[in-house]
Amino acid sequence: MSTQSETVFVTGATGFIAQHIVKQLIEKGYKVIGSVRSKDKGENLKSLITEAGLDSNFFDYVIITNLIDKQPFDEVFSKHPEISIVLHTASPVDFNAKDAIKEIIEPAVLGTKHILQSAKQHPNIKKFVITSSIVATIDVSEDGKPKGTITEESWSGLETKHLSGPEDTFVGYGISKTHAGQEVVRFQNEEHPNFTIVSILPSYVFGPQAFEVKDKSQLNFSAELVNKVLKLKPNEEIPPLTGIFIDVRDVAHAHIKAFQESQKTNGKRLGLDAGEVTNELIASIINKNFPKVDIPKGSIEKSNNQLQSRGIGFDFSESKKILGFDYIPLEKSIVDSVQQILNAK
């Protein structure tokens, strides 16, 4: 089947990762229907697509204000029987939420449950990819410190009892991705849908926005991590941050490969890891590539010490083998992010 005849439904189409997915799908000749929260957001995305020199006839949007209920999904799938692939990227990432259960956990889990049930009732849907997160693999439930080596098979043991209070959004986010991920596994094992399902688990996601940044005050969580380092005064302390990263363009690529290679990927959780990252490393990359930017130098030695004292390792080599493409290195990812932030007027 030629890609031109396939239509992909992307939920949460205005998100950081989702915009890259939309862009890459259109470049590959797929038709895309994206869910957005308002007409303004839909029209804005359409104009960004046109400004980027892409054919906006390949993009259409539907307005879904509530991603918890099943009905909006039923309506989209009934109205658009041409949809054969679903990429479910929409999930709350709101670290300022006042109630982690109501604002983060329930929408993520119920949204996942309902879109899967809805897709099951529409036999035209053949492939389903969901955006999870590496936090669903890191178990901090015992004493707040993860241990050992984490792989695609690992699960976080987080439950709502681990919330320190209603505003504990970081743990809330971990619970939301864990429980939504477990719902995906349960659904596939028990309900045997007639479509393949793959979960994509990105780590820290760096890299530029898909389209031109017009407002630096509205950067997403990951871009803001880079921006925070960029905003440091030369004599300020670099706040510690350690983890693994992946470039957003590779995350989008992985979503597309996941459904294109559905024979290999069905039922899998694919962890995305392009290497280790610390704020010290980010600062030293910025200093090397942007000598006019006046921020703290960043120390490779300090970076290595921070990474060594972590007591945790990641091995997502199985995912990399399945996906079969090389990841963008940290330096390119950070340079492209910073260049775009500096260019934003």
The total of structural domains in the chain comes to 1
Helix (H, G, I), strand (E, B) or coil at 341: helix
Check which CATH number belongs to the domain holding 18 and give it: 3.40.50.720
Phi/psi of residue 46, nearest 5 degrees: -60, -45
Over residues 325-339, mean pLDDT? 97
187 occurs within a structural domain: yes
Q: Is residue 98 part of a domain?
A: yes
CA–CA gap between residue 280 and residue 302 (Å, rounded): 7
Tell me whether residue 21 is in a domain: yes
pLDDT category at 1 given cuts 50, 70, 90 is very low
Confidence of residue 283 (pLDDT cuts 50, 70, 90): very high
Q: Which DSSP state fits 194?
A: S
The band of 164, judged by pLDDT with boundaries at 50, 70 and 90, is confident
Tokens read off for 145? 């410190």
* b/e map 107-133, b = 16+ CB within 10 Å: bbbbbbbbbbebbbebeebbbbbbbbb
Q: ∠202-121-77 over CA atoms, to 5°?
A: 70
What is the mean pLDDT of the segment spanning 250-263?
A: 97
What are the residue ranges of helices labelled H in the chain?
A: 16-27, 39-51, 71-79, 100, 106-120, 169-191, 221-230, 248-260, 262-265, 279-289, 300-308, 317-323, 330-343
Q: Within a 10 A sphere around the Cβ of 230, how many other Cβ atoms?
A: 19
| 3-state DSSP assignment of residue 235 | coil
Which has the higher per-residue pLDDT, 341 or 193? 193
Q: Is residue 298 part of a domain?
A: no
Whether residue 116 is contained in a domain is answered as yes
Report pLDDT for 217: 65
When pLDDT is cut at 50, 70 and 90, the band that residue 4 belongs to is low
Residue whose entry in the numeric block shows the structure tokens 């329930």: 106
What are phi and psi for residue 138, nearest 5 degrees? -100, 115
Domain span holding position 23: 3-206+245-273+313-327
In angstroms, the CA 150 to CA 156 distance is 10
Q: What is the pTM for the complete model shown?
A: 0.95
Looking at the domain assignment, is residue 229 inside a domain? no
| Residue of 113, 126, 177, 268 marked active site | 177
Buried b vs exposed e over 151-175: b needs ≥16 C-beta within 10 Å?
Answer: bbebebebeeebbeeeebbebbbbb
Position 103 confidence tier, pLDDT thresholds 50, 70, 90: confident
272 has a pLDDT exceeding 80: yes
Distance between CA 268 and CA 260 in Å, rounded? 14
- For position 2, what pLDDT does the model report? 44
What pLDDT does 76 receive?
A: 97
> Got the DSSP string for 259-304?
HHTHHHHTT-EEEE---EEEHHHHHHHHHHH-TTS------HHHHH
| Helix/strand/coil for 75 | helix
Which H or E element spans position 127?
strand 127-131
Q: Is residue 345 in some structural domain? A: no
Q: Does residue 306 contact residue 191 with C-beta atoms inside 8 Å?
A: no
User: Over the stretch 213-240, which tens digit does the pLDDT of each residue have?
Assistant: 766 666 677 778 899 999 999 999 999 9
Percent of the chain residues past pLDDT 90, beyond the cut: 77
> At 130, is the secondary structure helix, strand, or coil?
strand
pLDDT at 68: 86
What is the number of other CB atoms lying within 10 angstroms of the CB of residue 89? 24
Three-class secondary structure of residue 97 per DSSP: coil
Domain contains 142: yes
Burial of 76 (0-12, 13-18, 19+ CB in 10 A): buried
Calculate mean pLDDT across residues 187-204: 97
Chain segment 116-157, per-residue pLDDT in tens: 999 999 999 999 999 999 999 998 766 666 778 999 999 998
* 145 is a catalytic site residue: no
Mean pLDDT of the chain: 92
